[in-house]
Chain A
Amino acid sequence: MLSLSTVQAIYSGVVLALEEVTMSVAPGQMVALLGANGAGKSSTLKAISGLLAAEGGRITKGRIEFEGALLNGSPPDAVVQRGIVHVMEGRLLFRHLSVEDNLLLGHLGYRGKADLKASLAKVFHYFPPLEALRQNTAGFLSGGEQQMLVMGRGLMGHPKLMLLDEPSLGLAPMLIQDLFRIIGQLCREEGLSILVVEQNARVALNTVDYGYVMEGGRIVLEGSAEQLREDPTIQNVYLGIHVDKEQRSYRSLKEEVKQRYQPLKEPGRPP
């Protein structure tokens, strides 16, 4: 349903954010995108949702396709109407507006034919605490409530694919478990596809079907969640399980990842 083939993206004309990203998400599939800071995970999501352009970036090579249509360079609102909602990192919400207004804006952004009441009921079904907070100012919610609100706002747009950027950041472990349980539920019950960027590889790999690992703007490893969980390098670098006798530095581990998954050709740097 979503496919990226050899996507390259550049910020401000010079900074290479994505070198060569090839990946896909099937209908109803839940996919994780793992990697260290600066690997290009968020840029990948922004390239899909069209928000890259708003930050001075653009896609210079490759194709992003969604349900057979080319997405390259589509403005963000057009991407939303196609059925992709991007829930950005940092739990961005309209802080001065009420919870209900935030949800209503998700509905207005969708602009399709949808029953407002039914959409709200669906959001409150998956995120029950929001119902009691309807009239509260969004900026005063707790971190967990804010995460529910941004995802609920996303659901109001009736997406076929939801891009989730770091949903667990700064949340208590129990909340993270809950959150991923709900994400899994959305996938199974609503047939929603999910592409989630996550630092917390452990919880992500316990929930998703498939995963990609990024490093330096390219995909260096991919496989089913099970394969990735069992991979010794992944265990070392992202899960913190030390299978080797000797202690190794994080830097040398990153080098190991790069060497094991040598790119097919030497990456071309822009002038």
Chain B
Amino acid sequence: MAECVVLGKPCFLLAQWLMTGVMVGSIYSLVALGLVLIVKASGIFNFAHGYLMLLGSLFCVTIFQALGEQNLWLALLVTALLMVAVGFLIERAVMRPLLGQPLLTTIMMTLALTQLMQGLITLFWGVSAIPLNIFVYGPGDMDPATGAALTGLPLKPLILESKSWLGGNIIIKQQFVLSFLVSAGLVLLFTLFFRYSRTGLVMRAVAENPRLAQAVGLRVYFTLGLAWAIAALLGAAAGIVQSGGSGVDGNTIPLLALRAFPAVLLGGLESIPGAILGGIIIGVVEVMVTGLVDSTTGQEFAPFLVLILVLLIRPQGLFGQREVERI
């Protein structure tokens, strides 16, 4: 049988990386959506998003454990309510007083918020990773290497039969499939919300011209608060989806947000479709580079290589908003 080889790698591996990349990318899309939402609503790039993700995951794991790791849905619901409150609180307490201030001031505020949240999280939860045992193997399932009881998402891989035409079977971790489904679902839900709901319309109006929105009688402050609340919710969702696989780790989750920044810029700061596509591209690039360069550090630099290229070649991104102007 003829071996299918491209770039020195077998085709089935490339296909596997591509699929894994899309799935990993969907989490980036979810993170990017939260970032784009704040940019769209108030023109601010929210550097604190990574810690909103971490905070959401920590709320979830803490409540989940307090409930005896029995009732996941209740834990998710309480987490959602808490994150909505956090979103409104951030808007009211630190962002609203800065309305009309220079952009740099507001960005410094989100950086300050980042450090503040990092400090508070370390204070209350410590620095070590906490496993989020959302899905548990049947009793007695052991990690073959260490003999410890398996926790986290079921790691039994999904095997797609493709030996006959790609020269090997594609193997996908199930946790990626799940996070893909959750991310894609949420991204779809919120995209439809912005496009078709009245609240979404008000948000787009406030984003375009807050002064005019005020003159028309729209509740600008409430809408901005709502934008922060939804961003906090999306962040928490991305954090929880990620934690389901790797545990709640105060070091890795904010890094995930950092790697989503290139996704946002690639797609265009104010574009929701751009955020989705940008996330997926970053995910694919990351997994491909990791595979092709045969390095575990691919994900550390590949997204930022993309970021540098985007900034040099197309600073407005793939779908950057063009000003509507009658000539």
Taking Cβ atoms with an 8 Å cutoff, the residues of A that contact B are 49, 51, 54, 56, 75-77, 80-81, 85-86, 88, 92-97, 101, 104-106, 108-111, 137-142, 153, 157
Check A108 against B201 for contact (C-beta < 8 Å). yes
Q: In the assembled complex, which residues on chain A have CB atoms less than 8 Å from the CB atom of B217?
A: 76-77, 80-81, 85, 106, 108-111, 157
Check A139 against B326 for contact (C-beta < 8 Å). yes
Q: In the assembled complex, which residues on chain A have CB atoms less than 8 Å from the CB atom of B220?
A: 77
Partner of B205, one of A77, A105, A141, A157: A105
Given contact pairs A51-B211, A109-B217, A96 touches B204 in the complex (Cβ within 8 A): yes
Q: In the assembled complex, which residues on chain A have CB atoms less than 8 Å from the CB atom of B198?
A: 104, 108
Q: In the assembled complex, which residues on chain A have CB atoms less than 8 Å from the CB atom of B325?
A: 95, 139
Given contact pairs A54-B211, A94-B209, A106 touches B326 in the complex (Cβ within 8 A): no
Q: In the assembled complex, which residues on chain A have CB atoms less than 8 Å from the CB atom of B202?
A: 105, 108
Check B215 against A49 for contact (C-beta < 8 Å). yes
What is the bound-complex CA distance between A109 and B105, given in angstroms?
A: 30
Q: What are the 10 closest A-B residue pairs judged by CB atoms, nearest first? A: A109-B217, A80-B217, A139-B324, A109-B216, A76-B214, A95-B324, A92-B212, A77-B217, A109-B218, A94-B205
Check B208 against A96 for contact (C-beta < 8 Å). yes
Give me 10 other A-B pairs in contact (C-beta within 8 A), A75-B214, A96-B321, A104-B198 excluded: A51-B214, A51-B215, A77-B217, A80-B216, A80-B217, A93-B212, A94-B204, A94-B208, A110-B217, A157-B217
Taking Cβ atoms with an 8 Å cutoff, the residues of B that contact A are 100, 198, 201-202, 204-205, 208-209, 211-220, 321, 323-326
A24 shortest CB reach to chain B, Å: 22
Interface centre among A56, A76, A139, A153 (most CB of B within 10 A): A76
User: 22 A–B contact pairs at CB < 8 A?
Assistant: A80-B215, A85-B217, A88-B215, A92-B209, A93-B212, A94-B209, A97-B201, A97-B204, A97-B205, A105-B202, A105-B213, A106-B216, A106-B217, A108-B198, A108-B218, A109-B218, A137-B324, A138-B324, A139-B324, A140-B326, A141-B326, A157-B217
Q: In the assembled complex, which residues on chain B have CB atoms less than 8 Å from the CB atom of A108?
A: 198, 201-202, 217-218
